[in-house]
Every structure is written in structure tokens, then in C-alpha cells.
Structure 1
Amino acid sequence: MSVVVASRRAALLVAAAGFFLLTHTHAQAQWWKRAPVDFEECADTAEKAATKAEKTSALADCNAKFAGRRKAGGGYTYYDFLQDRSFDIAGPNPTPEEQKKIDEAYTAYLANQRRSNEAAQATARQQREQQERQAQQLQQVALRTDVERVPVPVERPKVQQTVGQRPKGTPCTKGSFSCEWPRLSESLNDLKKLFSPTPSKPAAKKG
């Protein structure tokens, strides 16, 4: 915590010094008759400076001397630009106890920022994993669809059974056409042989 507070105070000092160095060095002169009690009184006196350069330098000196600003209802407020937050203080500048509370608030602010960043990174990581899972599921669905589109070979049709032929191994039912047809076919063949004389062989030639 001490390192964080030290770096924070250094940043505040650098910012104040940078702003102060941009002004004219004439601001070091005591141009007021009575020492102002807060920033607003100091700024009112600076407005009465003779030249624009003296006015700018005086306002920079006021800003360096007083960190607090008057509140409408009384008291003062201190704006910490590192936290982008205002704190109520009793006088024109924070007391050591008030400054300690401001530093502690800054440490808590940094911790909250770190947790927020970690949560954002975790959410982004979960979203990436979910997108990857969805992409894999879509790829699997596409592969299944492609497989279903491939035509399945059609089984070759069986040769149609000849009329009157009985499949082998099928029991013969007496009186059925498939059972009687073979005997009728043999009888018809015998009749054809009777009415069709056998051709005579040619006589052999004598030598």
C-alpha cells in the first residue's frame, strides 16, 4: 500500500508542478495585501492583477496552495483526478487524517479496477469457449448432413420367377397349379413325340 500511495502522491505533485511551471515566474511575488484563506479568495484577488500574465501566474499559485474548493452548503470538497472522485474535507486543504482516507480509497479503487478487469477477461474467455463449442457443433451437423446426402446402393432386384415353377424346398399342395404343372408339361411333351415322327436316317451309299 505504501508503494501505491507514494506513486499516487508523486503523480499529484508532478501534475501540480507541471501546471505551475507553465505559468510566469512572477507568480512568486506577493501581490496580495492579505494572505487568502482559500482558493476562492485567492482567485478573486488574482482577478485584480494588472496584466494577463500576472493573472495567469496568480491563479496557478492559488491552485498550488489550495487543493479544496468551497461547497455551496459550507465546508470544502477535494477532487482526486486519479480516482475521478470528490471527497468532503473540513478546510481548504485535506488534513493528514483526511489525506490518509483519500489514499486508502485510492488503494481500494485500484483493487476494484483489477477485479473488474479480471472479471471482464473471464467473461471474454467464456464467450470465446462458447463460440468454439457452437462452431464444433455446427461442423458436426454439417458432416452428418453430407453423409445423409450420399445415395445408398439399391439392392439388385431378384429375377422374376417363371410362371408355373415352384421354388425349391416349397411343399407341393395337391391340386395346386404349381404342383400339377410339371406332370402336365411332361404329358404334353410325350404327346408331341407321338405325333411328330422321328426323321429316318439317310441310306448309306454302296461302294
Structure 2
Amino acid sequence: MSIVVALRRAAPLVIAAAGSFLLTSSHAHAQWWKRAPVDFEECADAAEKSATKAEKTAALADCNAKFAGRRKPGGGYTYYDFLQDRTFDIAGPNPTPEEQKKIDESYTAYLADQRRRDEAAHAMARQQREQQEQQAQQLQQVALRTEVERVPVPLERPKVLQTTGARPKGAPCTKGSFSCEWPRLSEGLNEIKRLFNPTPSKPAKKS
């Protein structure tokens, strides 16, 4: 009797232990047959089934870190390089070493082309600046020359006759003008002065 009672008391514990074992075994089997996502799209589909928004965001970030390529509608994958703002065709969900080498070489050529463009842009800007400076200088010179031309040139000051009334040498003589008659009158006055004021004779030297 004591043995039967003990078995009856132990039966619920055995059943519970067996159920726990079966559940654990089933969960492990489910994890074993569930395969990992092969590309970003499968990984993103699984992330969409996350229980919370935070888990979904973390799962999508993990998908983006694992897979660089994206599916193409016609098959294959593309890789977007944001540094070049360009996409590259790749065979799988991630670039192979050879494909990555070609992407890096393209980026090197992109940098060289960008440097040439920058140098050409700087040279053009410098040329335009020099042309603008030359045009400004030309406009300034034209404005200065125009301003000089607007200033009136003073007329030559006329020559004033001497107070003696003598006309300038070589100047034409107009009959009846003072400048022509003055020399004749001056000689006549000198003759009258000599008549009234004779020149004193020199005293004779004593021997």
C-alpha cells in the first residue's frame, strides 16, 4: 500500500517533468530547422515581426549592417555607395573582394575628377574676377578722361601794350593809331627838348 501511495503522489511530478522536457526539446528543434536570412530583404521581413518598435528598429539596423546589397527586380543585387552617389551591380547580397576593389578604384577616380572640377571652377572664378577688375579700371579711366574734358580750358591772356605806347616788334601798324603815331611824336618832342635845353659844352682842358 505504501508503495502504491508513493507512486500516486509522484505521478504528477513525473508528468510535469515530462511535459517540460518535451516543450524544451520542441523549442530547440524549431531553432535548429529555422534558417538564417540570406539577404537584406529576408532579414527585414523577419524584423517586421518583432514584438516592439524598439526591437524592430534594432533588428533592421542589424540587417543593414549584415547586408550591403539590395535585390534587383530582374535578379542579382545592387550596392549603393553614398560617397560617390552611385550604384554598382554585384552578384550576391554583399560585394565580393574583387567587386569591392572595383568600387574602391571607382571612388579614387571620382575623387580625382572632383579635384579637377574644383580646380577648373577656381580658375574660372579667378579669371572672371580679373576681368571684372580690368573692366572697373577701364570704366574709371573713361570717367576720369570725360571729367577732364568737361573742365573748360582758360583762354590765353592777351598781351598788354607797354605804357610807352610802343607797338610790339613786327606787329602791323594801322594808320592813325596811337601805336603808329607815337614814335614820330616822340622824336618831335625830343627835338623841342634839345632846343630849350642845349647840351652844355665841355670845358676846355688846361694845358
TM-score normalised by structure 1 residue count: 0.60
Change (3 A) 1:125 1:169: closer
| Matches for 1:49-64 after TM superposition, within 5 Å | 49-64=50-65
- Taking only the aligned residue pairs, the percentage that are identical comes to 86
Other-structure match for 1:65: 66
Q: CA deviation at 1:59?
A: 0.9
The separation in 1 between residues aligned to 2:171 and 2:124, in whole angstroms, is: 74
Deviation at 1:33, TM superposition (A): 2.5
**Aligned partner letter, 1:83:** Q
RMSD: 2.8
What are the within-5 Å matches in structure 2 for residues 1-207 of structure 1? 33-155=34-156
Write the letter of the residue equivalent to 2:82.
F
Shift of 1:158: 8.6
SS of aligned partner of 2:87? strand
Which whole-Å deviations, capped at 9, do the CAs of 1:10-58 have from their partners, x for residues lacking one?
xxxxxxxxxxxxxxxxxxxx9x931111000111111112222221111
Decide which structure has greater helix share.
2
- In 2: Cα distance, 1:169 partner to 1:146 partner: 39
Distance in 2 between residues matched to 1:113 and 1:143, nearest whole Å? 45
Larger CA Rg, structure 1 vs 2: 2
RCO greater where, 1 or 2, for CA within 8 Å and sep 6 or more?
Answer: 1
Counting matched residue pairs gives: 139
Match of 2:26 in 1: none
- List alignment gaps of at least 5 residues for structure 1: 1-29, 160-167, 171-177, 182-207
